[in-house]
Homo-oligomer: A and B are copies of this chain.
Amino acid sequence: MARITRSNGERTAAAIRQAALRLIHQQGFAAMNLRELAAAVGISPASLYNHMTTKQSLLFDLMLEHMTALLEQTDAALAAAGPEPLARLEAFIAHHVLYHLERKREVYIANFELRALDPPNAARIITMRHDYEARLIGLLEEGAAAGLLNLGDARISAYAMLAMLTGVCTWYRADGRLQPAELVALHTRLALEGVRRKG
């Protein structure tokens, strides 16, 4: 066989990314093999290489796209929230939860497959993750400076909050009992009460 009628490069590349997200999320990057990926897309293993350079670059591209989108959308949400520190913090939390519900597979992969990246690729993703953490740490410090928050330690508080907020995407099911808006409300309260200034 050769080229398939109505085949299209963009569509195939997108199908590969989607299938890879699903398989890596289910099994992990090392456990996913390219024959299985190809079968999921409906092409031969060799054809994958018309749309990617190596298995490693496929993983890196997925992570890079995710981190880029996360940073951009976070900045947009903060810009829309205005200047008030607590409002900005709440906007960050709400956006984080919603984004993580919506793209749980990407998030999971970016968090747990870092070790599968070549060191140079890993370094680039780690830098972007630090940028993201720095935004929350900055918000917490703003809130503390304004006398609105009471932090034991801004960095630890940020890590703890991120762990809690990100945790939601390990068990969230779109067909589950709770709606995204409810999860945002519950987690906003759980996160904020731990750092809000009392009295």
Which residues of A pack against B, CB within 8 Å? 26-28, 30-31, 112, 115-116, 152-153, 156-157, 159-164, 166-168, 170-171, 178, 183, 185-187, 189-191, 193-196
Contact = CB atoms under 8 A, between A and B. Distances in A.
A28 B160 contact: no
B189 A152 contact: yes
* Copies of the chain in the assembly: 2
A162 B167 CA distance: 9
Given A30-B31, A160-B164, A190 B183 contact: no
Contact of A115 (B28, B163, B166): B28
Given A31-B30, A190-B194, A194-B189, A167 B163 contact: yes
* Chain B CB within 10 A, most for which of A115, A156, A191: A156
A85 B35 CA distance: 54
A31 B116 contact: yes
Given A159-B171, A164-B164, A167-B164, A152 B193 contact: no
A40 to B, nearest CB: 17
B163 A186 contact: no
